[in-house]
Amino acid sequence: MSDMPRISVIIPVYNSAAYLPRCLDSVLGQSYGDLEVILINDGSTDDSGALCDGYAQKDSRVRVIHQRNGGASVAKNAGLDAASGDFIGFVDSDDWIEADTYAYLLGILQQSQSDIAEVMLEVAYSESHRMELLPEELTVFEGEDILIHYFEHNEFAMGLRLYRRYVFDAVRFEEGRITEDVVAGFLALSRAKRLVVSNQRKYYYYSNPVGVSESPLRKRDLDLLHVVEQLDELTAESTNEALRKLVLTKKKRSPFTLLTKMALFGCSTELDEKQMKRQFQQQIRKDYRFLMGSSMPLNRKLLLTAGCVSYPLVKIMGAAYQGTRR
């Protein structure tokens, strides 16, 4: 095992005691054994901290960092600072992975001489979820094509990828934001010379009803607007028209994303729902032609059109779309 490269797996933990064993069992049960599993207990008030310590006592590969609650960005940065591996991976504490995930990622990364390897995820609503096996397809991207793939794929979870350590030498997650993965992922991929992407599904993204993705619109969800401004600034000097169009599409699509979230899951008392609806609809109507000419799927374009006309219609159509996904 001493000749094998070490993979540091960073897992931020906050009040996830109900899901943490499933996550950790999937990581510690990997067919690739030379792992360093770093658990950052970010001020949990449930049994998460004790569970972390229990796993550390049973498995010497587990390291636990207990800290005051600072959010996922602070936790991930603490994990990066503590990591000693040759490669870096991330898993959210309510998600889980296939048993061969890291062996597979490392294999295709080394085979293609890439800096980052990526697999696919599936949204899972229960532990019984099983992914379909597909004939393997590998694609290698270089230069700005890496960033074009990043936006075309439109999956920003850090856990999809295995990274050579060096890409994080000058990259950290912006603290105090809940959409921290989007910009950090962009910066990490910007430092890579080569990315290999597989169509194999290895990462189970748990759709948690009390999680960020399925909760009422809150003030911190507006961080998305800050993130897309950052991406616009980071690519402003690029002469790659395809990349710029993708970034502008994401920027102009963000008010629609927030309107849809509010329609599906409600609006918290932190925000004025009528004001938010008016603000988002104004921006959607302004950018409607641009977005209709983009590569958005047809069902999203129909929902976008509904957003321009009738907020209650977005609720009805959005709920129907969620039902088909489940």
93 to 40, 67, 97: CA distances (angstroms): 10, 16, 11
Structure tokens at 270: 């932190």
Q: Is the pLDDT of residue 324 over 60?
A: no
The CATH number given to whatever domain includes residue 57 is 3.90.550.10
Are 120 and 153 contained in the same domain?
yes
Percentage of the chain lying above the pLDDT 90 cut: 80
pLDDT digits (tens, 9 = 90+) for 241-293: 999 999 999 999 999 999 999 998 999 999 999 999 999 999 999 999 999 99
pTM (whole model) above 0.95: no
Is 202 found in the same domain as 59?
A: yes
Give the other-Cβ count within 10 Å of 132's Cβ: 6
Average pLDDT score over residue span 68-94 = 97
Residue 314 or residue 140, greater confidence:
140
**pLDDT value of position 323:** 57
Cα–Cα dist 198/196, whole Å: 7
pLDDT higher at 232 or 132: 232
The conformation of residue 212, written as its DSSP 8-state character, comes to S
Residue 299's pLDDT is 85
Do 280 and 308 lie in one domain? The reply is yes
Count of CB atoms within 10 A of residue 130's CB? 10
Which residues touch 210 (CB under 8 Å, ≥6 apart)? none
Q: How does DSSP classify residue 19?
A: T
What average pLDDT does this structure show over 76-105? 97
Q: What is the pLDDT of residue 320?
A: 64
Task: Quote the mean pLDDT of the chain.
Answer: 93
The pLDDT, as a whole number, for residue 180 is 86
Report pLDDT for 311. 86
Q: How many domains does the structure of the chain reveal?
A: 2
> How are beta strands 96-97 and 62-67 bridged, if at all?
unpaired
pLDDT interval class at 208 (50, 70, 90)? low
DSSP 8-class letter at 217: B
Tens of pLDDT, residues 128-173: 788 888 999 999 999 999 999 999 998 999 999 999 999 999 999 9
* pLDDT at residue 62 is higher than 50: yes
**Degrees, nearest 5: CA angle 30-34-37:** 75
- Provide the 8-state DSSP code for 318: H
- Is residue 189 in a domain? yes
Rounded Cα gap, residues 96 and 126, in angstroms: 11
| Co-location of 257 and 136 in the same domain | no
Task: Please check whether residues 75 and 47 belong to one and the same domain.
Answer: yes
* Confidence (pLDDT) at 1: 45
Dist. CA 88–CA 80, nearest whole Å: 8
Asked whether residue 176 falls in the same domain as residue 252, the answer is no
pLDDT at residue 2 tops 80: no
Which of 204, 201, 203, 205 shows the shortest CA–CA distance to 136? 201
Asked if residue 75 and residue 24 are part of one domain, the reply reads yes
> 318 or 264, which is more confident?
264
> What is the mean pLDDT of the segment spanning 225-241?
96
The span from the CA of 265 to the CA of 316, in Å, is: 12
Report which of 85, 84, 63, 82 is spatially closest to residue 74, judged by C-alpha positions: 82
Q: Can you tell me the distance from the alpha carbon of 260 to that of 257, in angstroms, rounded to the nearest whole number?
A: 5
Over residues 228-237, the mean pLDDT reads: 96
Residue 125's domain comprises 7-206
